[in-house]
Structure 1
Amino acid sequence: MLWKKLGQLYCPKFIHPKLASHAANPLAVLLNGDVYRIFYSGRDSQNRSSVSFIDADIVKREVLHIHDKPAFTHGRENSFYSHGVSIGNCYEADGHRYILFMGWQLPLGGHWRGDIGRLVLESDFSLRLDSDLPFMATSTTDPISLSYPWTVQEKHGNFRMWYGSTATWDAGNGEMLHVINQASSVDGHIWHREGLAVPYALGIAQAFSRPTVIGNENDGYHMWFSYRGGSGDKYRIGYACSADGKTWALRLEDSGIDVSPTGWDSEMIEYPFVFDHGGLRYMLYNGNDYGKSGFGLAVMDSE
C-alpha cells in the first residue's frame, strides 16, 4: 500500500497565548458533508499543550474556519494534565462521545510522564473533562508512564484500546523503550489491560507513539504509528497488522509513507490519524519538529 501526499493542510501561527505554536495529534470528527472538525494540540511559550481545532473540507483540502482560542486547556499545577493534553481518538459508548488523551506532567526535578484522561465531546462539539482523576493511570502492567490511546468498538459490541506504555526511560542506547500495549472492555468505561500488543525491535523501533487503527475482527486490523529506534533518530511512521486485533506483526516497510525530500515534512513524520471518507482512506499526520510545522493530508493510492 502507498500513500499519496496531498500537501500541508494547516500551518499554525500565534493565535492565542495558549496556542502560540504547534498543531500536533490531529483528530478528525465529521461535521457534515465533506467538512471535518480537526482537533489538535497546540502549545504555549512553556510548551504546555491545550486543544483547539480547525474546520476543513477534506475533498477540497480547504480550511474553512480556524478557532482562535483553546477548546480545552491544560490543567492546574499538580493535576494529571498540568503540562499538556495530547489527544488520541474519538469513540462512542452509551450514547456519549469521548476523546481520550495523554495528560502530561513534569514533576519538579523529575522526568516527564503521562496518564490517560478522558474528555466528553458534547453535542455542540464543546469539550469537558470527564473526571479530575486519570481515566487510566500507572499500574503493575504500566508502571512508569502512559500515552496516546486509540479506542474502537468491535462489531459484537465490545471495545479494544491500544496505547503507549513506558518500560524504561533508557533501553541501553539512550532511547526509551515505550511500547504499544492493549486493553479490552465490555462497556468502554472499565478496561482490562492485556500487556504488549505490537512487537518492538531495539535500535530499530523501540519508542512508539500515537497508534491509529482501522479495520475490524472480520477483515483484519491495520495500525499506523510513530516510532524511533534510538541514536538520535527522528520519528517516522510505521505499520503493523493483525487478524484479530490482539496478535500483531510489525511491518515497518509497509507503512507506505516517508519524509519528503524538502519542505515542512522533510525531517520527520509522526502522529498519524487514519480515517475513511467517501470511499477513500485518508491520513492526517504531522511533520517537522513534533507538529510545529502543522499537519498534512495523504490519501491511500488505490492503484
Structure 2
Amino acid sequence: MGNVTRPRVASFTYQGRHSYGLITDQGVVDLGQQFADRWPTLDDVVADDCLDQLVEAGSNATPDIALADIEYQLPIARPGKIICVGVNYPNRNAEYKDGQAQPDYPSLFIRFPESFVGHEKLIMRPPESEQLDYEGEVVLIIGKEGRRIPREDALDHVSALTLANEGTIRDWVRHAKFNVTQGKNFDHTGAMGPWLVPFEDESQIADIRLTTRVNGEIRQDDRTIHMMFDFRYLINYISTFTTLKPGDVIVAGTPTGAGARFDPPVWLKPGDRVEVEADGLGTLACTVGDEQ
C-alpha cells in the first residue's frame, strides 16, 4: 500500500494567484485556471462531488508549474465543520491510566479552520503557553450529504483523504472540566494537507501505517486497523446528530506517542520539524515558529 501512487490534488498559491491542480512528480497541472468558471476553488469541486472528474481532466496534461514554485494552502479552505476524534487507538486510551475500559462511544470536539495551516507552513507556538504538542491523524473529506448514514453506506459519502497534525496546547485543554475547545483552537497551531487523495475504496484506509516524526525521530507509529472506532462507524455515529455535508472534515484520531506522554513531557519548540505520513497519502510537513 505504501508504494501505491494515487492522484493528488492540491490548493496552492502561485505568483500571488490562488489555484488548484494535479500534483505529479514532474510538476503541477494548473486546473484552477482551466475550470475557473465552473469551480473557482477546490472546495467547489468537492461540493459538486466532481473530484474524480477533475483528476481525469488533468491526467494526460503536461505540468504547467514547477513543484518548487508553489505555496501549498489548506486543501479545503472553507470547511463547514471540522469534527475531531479525541481518543481512537487502544494504546492512546491506555495512556490516561484512569482504569477505564475502552469507551462505548467516541470523544468528539470541534476545531476552527483558522487553527490549521497548509503543508510546509509554520505552525505557531503562542505566547500564552510553551506546551505545543503534535498529533498525527488521517482525515476524511465528506463529498456527499447525509444524515443517519448506515455503516454499510458510510464510505460512499467520502470524497477524499488527507492528513493532519492536530496540534494542541496541552495546558489549555485542561482549563475547564468538560471541554478541550480552548487548547485545540489556537490560531495556526495545526496543519492539514498536503493535498487531497480521491477516495476510491476501503483498502486506502482500512489498514495503513500512520507515523509522526519530530526532527526525523519516529514518535507515533500505528495502523488504522487498530482504531477503536473505524471510519465507517465514525461517519455513522456523527451523522446521527448532525447532517454531514460536502466539504465537512473528520479528523479520525491519533496514536500514542504525543509529547505530553513523555516523562518529563517534550514540547515542540521553534525550529522543530514535524512530519505526518500515512501509506498512500503522502507526508504532511511543517516547522514550528513562535507567534509574534
TM-score, normalization: structure 2?
0.27
TM-score between the two structures when normalised by the length of structure 1 = 0.26
Larger relative contact order (C-alpha < 8 A, sep ≥ 6)? 2
Bigger fraction of residues in helix: 2
